[in-house]
Chains A and B, each alone.
Chain A
Amino acid sequence: MDQTPPQSAAAREVSLPELFTGFLIIGLLGFGGLAMSAYYMIVEKRRWLDKKEFSELFAICSILPGGNIMNCTIMIGARYQGALGSVVSMSALLLMPLLILIAVAMTYDHFSYLPDVRAAMAGAASAAAGLIVATATKLGLGVVWRAAPIAFALTTFVAVSFFRAPLWLVIVVIGSSSVLLASRAGKRS
Chain B
Amino acid sequence: MKDEDALSGLLIIFISSAFFSMGGASTLIPEFHRQIVDLHGFMTSPDFAKTVALAQIAPGPNMLIVSLIGWQVAGLPGLLVSTFAIVVPPSCIAYFSWRGMERLKDAAWLRAVKVGLAPVVVGLMLASGAITAQAANHDAIGYALTLFTALFTHFMKRNPLWVIGSGALVGVLAYRTGLMSLV
* Interface positions of A (Cβ within 8 A of B): 1, 3, 5-6, 27-34, 56-57, 59-71, 74-75, 78-79, 83, 86, 90, 93-94, 96-98, 100-102, 104-105, 108, 115-116, 118-140, 142-143, 148-150, 152-157, 160-161, 164, 166-168, 170-171, 174-175, 178-183, 185-187
Do the beta carbons of B146 and A133 come within 8 Å of each other?
Answer: yes
Kindly list chain B residues whose C-beta atoms are within 8 Å of the C-beta of A118: 182
Do the beta carbons of B94 and A61 come within 8 Å of each other?
Answer: yes
Contact A182 B125, CB 8 Å, known A33-B24, A67-B62, A127-B166 = no
B118 at the interface (CB under 8 A from A): yes
* Interface positions of B (Cβ within 8 A of A): 16-26, 28-31, 34, 38, 46, 49-50, 52-64, 67-68, 71-72, 76, 79, 83, 86-87, 89-91, 93-95, 97-99, 101-102, 104-105, 108-133, 135-137, 142-143, 145-154, 159-161, 163-172, 174-176, 180, 182-183
Do the beta carbons of B132 and A60 come within 8 Å of each other?
Answer: no
For the A-B complex, the count of residue pairs with Cβ-Cβ distances under 8 Å equals 391
Tell me which of A27, A152, A186 contacts B119 (CB under 8 A): A152
Kindly list chain B residues whose C-beta atoms are within 8 Å of the C-beta of A161: 30, 126-127, 130-131
Report the minimal beta-carbon distance from A33 to chain B, rounded to whole angstroms.
6
Do the beta carbons of B61 and A32 come within 8 Å of each other?
Answer: no
Do the beta carbons of A153 and B90 come within 8 Å of each other?
Answer: no
Kindly list chain A residues whose C-beta atoms are within 8 Å of the C-beta of B29: 132
Do the beta carbons of B161 and A70 come within 8 Å of each other?
Answer: no
Kindly list chain A residues whose C-beta atoms are within 8 Å of the C-beta of B58: 97, 100-101, 104
Do the beta carbons of A127 and B53 come within 8 Å of each other?
Answer: yes
Tell me which of A101, A130, A133, A170 contacts B64 (CB under 8 A): A101
Contact A124 B164, CB 8 Å, known A66-B90, A118-B182, A119-B180 = yes
